[in-house]
Amino acid sequence: MMSVLVIGKDSQLAQCIMDCEKNFPEIDFSYKDSKELDITDEKSVKKIFEDYTFNYCINCAAYTNVDKAETEPLRAKTVNTIGAQNIARACKVNGSILIHISTDFVFDGEKKTPYIEEDYTNPINVYGKTKRDGELEIEKTLEKYFIIRTSWLYSQKGSNFLKTILRIAKERKEISVVNDQFGSPTYALDLAHLTLKIISSKSNNYGTYHYSNLGKISWYDFALEISKTWKLDLKINPIKAKDYITHAVRPSYSVLDSSKAQKSFNIKAIKWNESLQKCFLNYN
């Protein structure tokens, strides 16, 4: 039986991995939250790898508050960069294969066609920079790793855009949503299935991959479809990014090309609206 450590127990991806467990009886899962395992503490990370043997480590832990990262850059760096470095070093010493979750925000959004793995990275906010620096630490430390960049992650778990829209619909009747930032929503359960398929297939196609659901839409489009699917009584108004003030600048375009992952791991591409329907059926 394979042993897998999942770091970031409270994240929506880790929660979705838990939902998939029953489909992978050959895997023994161990989940740790930040209280049980502080990835910013090198000694803490070393100890858990010394105490237990893990074939794989899935790092779902991250500092993900994009706006707050602008005012807490050291905290974001400590988690996203130094934390990734600590995990990578422990994996190297103990022979564990690392699966690390990264982000579309490593790109600047200047491209007008979907980003491939070889495209030049140029993050334009603190969050994106710390995540890219974390990738670099992993690439420098390990030979056996999978870095999976994803985008606009949502599910019925954790905190995300979907749950924000559903909460707002209970509080008021109208909202404005940015209509000139484009990306690909990704259902976290789909990403969980991909992650576990990599492990169960014992793939040795190591490297960096992009994975998102198919399609290019704006946040406004996404909000409209959520409202339609959940039959919300909510008026949604389009607004330009320049008129919606935030601490962090965001890429205007961060659509990911997932074809490399599809070929390498023999997975089927899923359209974003199909996955949203699946999420709706799973929602509780």
Rounded distance between C-alpha atoms, residue 167 and residue 110, angstroms: 32
CA dihedral 188, 194, 199, 201 (to 10 degrees): 160
Min mean pLDDT across 89-93, 124-128, 280-284 is at 280-284
Answer yes or no: 127 catalytic.
yes
CA dihedral 191, 116, 264, 86 (to 10 degrees): -60
Catalytic residue among 56, 63, 115, 127: 127
> What's the token pair of residue 232?
């919300």
Please write the tens of the pLDDT for every residue from 111-136: 999 999 999 999 999 999 999 999 99
pLDDT(1) > 90: no
Rounded distance between C-alpha atoms, residue 56 and residue 72, angstroms: 31
- Sign for the CA dihedral angle at 122, 125, 126, 131 comes to negative
Mean pLDDT across the stretch 171-183? 96
Going by the DSSP 8-state scheme, the letter that residue 81 receives in this structure is I
Radius of gyration of the chain (CA): 18
Residue 54 contacts by C-beta under 8 Å, 6 or more apart in sequence? 3, 4, 5, 30, 94, 96
pLDDT(277) > 80: yes
Residue in the block written with tokens 């409270």? 10
Rounded distance between C-alpha atoms, residue 278 and residue 187, angstroms: 9
Q: Can you name the residues that pair with 217 across neighbouring β-strands?
A: 183
- Architecture (CATH level 2) of domain 2-157+185-214+255-269: 3-Layer(aba) Sandwich (3.40)
Please write the tens of the pLDDT for every residue from 181-236: 999 999 999 999 999 999 999 999 999 999 999 999 999 999 999 999 999 999 99
Other beta carbons within 10 angstroms of residue 167's beta carbon come to 10
The predicted structure's pLDDT at residue 109:
97
What is the average pLDDT score of the chain? 96
Tell me if 147 sits within 8 A of 84, measured CB to CB.
no
Rounded distance between C-alpha atoms, residue 85 and residue 136, angstroms: 9
Type of residue numbered 66: V
Please write the tens of the pLDDT for every residue from 10-27: 999 999 999 999 999 999
With a pLDDT cut of 70, the percent of the chain lying above it is 100
Mean pLDDT across the stretch 89-116? 97
> What's the token pair of residue 92?
């190297």
Per-domain boundaries in the chain: 2-157+185-214+255-269
Cα 65 to the chain's mean position, in Å? 13
Going by the DSSP 8-state scheme, the letter that residue 217 receives in this structure is E
Rounded distance between C-alpha atoms, residue 262 and residue 272, angstroms: 15
Tell me if 217 sits within 8 A of 178, measured CB to CB.
no
Confidence of residue 3 (pLDDT cuts 50, 70, 90): very high
Confidence of residue 158 (pLDDT cuts 50, 70, 90): confident
Closest to 142 measured CA to CA, from 111, 96, 181? 96
Mean pLDDT across the stretch 53-74? 97
Alpha-carbon separation of residue 138 from 54, 84, 102, 152 (angstroms): 17, 7, 11, 23
The predicted structure's pLDDT at residue 85:
98
The predicted structure's pLDDT at residue 284:
67
Tell me if 117 sits within 8 A of 210, measured CB to CB.
yes
With a pLDDT cut of 90, the percent of the chain lying above it is 96
